[in-house]
């Protein structure tokens, strides 16, 4: 028997992670994983493995939660320059070198990465996905894909109008 079925207060929770193209704000990939401490980083590496071609160097803008040596090393292995927001707390030393943070592209990437929050916000409010009413990972994933496709259609309509 599954452990979350035994105890009524235990509920499965999922982490939804998006990969966005910076220039037009189009959603490229979605990953739905069970929420763990490393689910976001695992999903990001998986999406980068799948969608980023290894021929040309690209950048990936992320927030402070991705500022770990493992994530930065895996990005560099994939020929991806990690533009990670530095986590400069008293107990933490950033994994990003000053040669990366000193570039003009790093600043642009940090401003553009905030647009990914628009996608998540749209999916929660307009897409009514703040709390899913679907049961099971497969159905939740299907609903996530439908909401992501609807977002992309809305974004493409805005781009076509402009």
At 27-59, the pLDDT tens digits run 888 888 888 888 888 888 888 888 777 667 788
pLDDT of residue 152: 93
pLDDT of residue 3: 56
- Identify whether 26 is part of a domain: yes
Helices assigned H by DSSP within 52-103: 69-77, 98-101
- Identify whether 120 is part of a domain: no
- Identify whether 133 is part of a domain: no
Q: Which of the four pLDDT bands, split at 50, 70 and 90, describes residue 75?
A: confident
CB 41 within 8 A of CB 71: yes
Report angle CA 151, 59, 80 to the nearest 5 degrees: 115
Among 86-95, 121-130, 143-152, where is mean pLDDT lowest?
86-95
pLDDT of residue 148: 92
- Identify whether 119 is part of a domain: no
pLDDT of residue 8: 58
For β-strands 58-62 and 80-84, DSSP reports them as: parallel
- Identify whether 42 is part of a domain: yes
4 has a pLDDT exceeding 60: no
Mean pLDDT of the chain: 82
| Structural domain count, the chain | 1
Q: Which of the four pLDDT bands, split at 50, 70 and 90, describes residue 149?
A: very high
Higher pLDDT, 133 or 155: 155
Higher pLDDT, 121 or 2: 121
What percentage of the chain has pLDDT greater than the value 70? 90
- Identify whether 97 is part of a domain: yes
- How is residue 113 written in tokens? 């990465």
Q: Give the residue numbers spanning the domain of 79.
A: 10-113
pLDDT of residue 9: 61
| 20 CB-near residues (< 8 Å, 6+ apart) | 26, 27, 28, 115, 116, 119
Helices assigned H by DSSP within 69-136: 69-77, 98-101, 104-112, 116-125
- Identify whether 58 is part of a domain: yes
Closest by Cα among 87, 81, 89, 88 to 106:
81
pLDDT of residue 19: 85
The CA–CA distances, whole Å, from 133 to 48, 77, 93, 155 equal 29, 39, 41, 25
């Amino acid at each position: 028997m599954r452990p979350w079925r035994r105890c009524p207060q235990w509920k499965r929770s999922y982490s939804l992670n998006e990969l966005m193209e910076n220039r037009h704000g189009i959603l490229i990939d979605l990953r739905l994983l069970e929420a763990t401490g490393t689910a976001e980083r695992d999903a990001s590496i998986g999406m980068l493995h799948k969608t980023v071609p290894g021929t040309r160097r690209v950048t990936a803008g992320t927030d402070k939660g991705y500022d770990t040596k493992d994530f930065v090393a895996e990005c560099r292995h994939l020929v991806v320059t990690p533009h990670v927001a530095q986590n400069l707390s008293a107990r933490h030393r950033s994994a990003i070198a000053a040669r990366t943070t000193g570039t003009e592209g790093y600043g642009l990437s940090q401003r553009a990465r905030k647009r990914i929050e628009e996608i998540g916000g749209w999916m929660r409010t307009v897409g009514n996905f703040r709390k899913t009413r679907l049961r099971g990972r497969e159905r939740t994933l299907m609903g996530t894909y439908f909401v992501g496709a609807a977002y992309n259609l809305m974004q493409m309509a805005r781009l076509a109008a402009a």
